[in-house]
Amino acid sequence: MGLFDRFRRKQRPGVLRSATSTDTGHLEQWAGARRGVEAYVEPKTTVTETTIVLVAHDGEWTRRRIDGTDGAKRLAKKLAIPIYDAGIVGYPKRMREYSRRKNQA
């Protein structure tokens, strides 16, 4: 081990982290524990890879990386939930209301 090895980052700066099975597993578990779940795909940016936001009937939500739009479609089909492009349709009002309630508590 070199003198400065402990200070090195695990990942090079500027390299985006892609989705892992942990991300997908979280999404599957989260959706399975809630009802009325819908998926909203967020496009890849210069800062993050493609992400998917799952929103439950009460507005509770979670966001994780996903393997592109095709990966999001496969996940939505597997979970039998509707999928939308967040850049086109936006986010549901119940999601914003849930976040507002959480911030006030």
> 56-72, pLDDT tens digit by residue?
999 999 999 999 999 99
Under the banding of pLDDT at 50, 70 and 90, the label for residue 12 is low
pTM attached to this predicted model: 0.82
Q: Determine contact, residues 72/39, Cβ cutoff 8 Å.
A: yes
> What is the pLDDT of the chain when averaged over all its residues?
88
Long-range own/partner contacts, residues 82-87 (CB < 8 A, 24 or more apart): 82/38, 82/39, 83/38, 83/39, 83/40, 83/41, 84/38, 84/39, 84/40, 84/41, 85/40, 85/41, 86/40, 86/41, 86/42, 86/53, 87/42, 87/43
Residue 99 has pLDDT above 90, yes or no: yes
Under the banding of pLDDT at 50, 70 and 90, the label for residue 9 is low
Under the banding of pLDDT at 50, 70 and 90, the label for residue 50 is very high
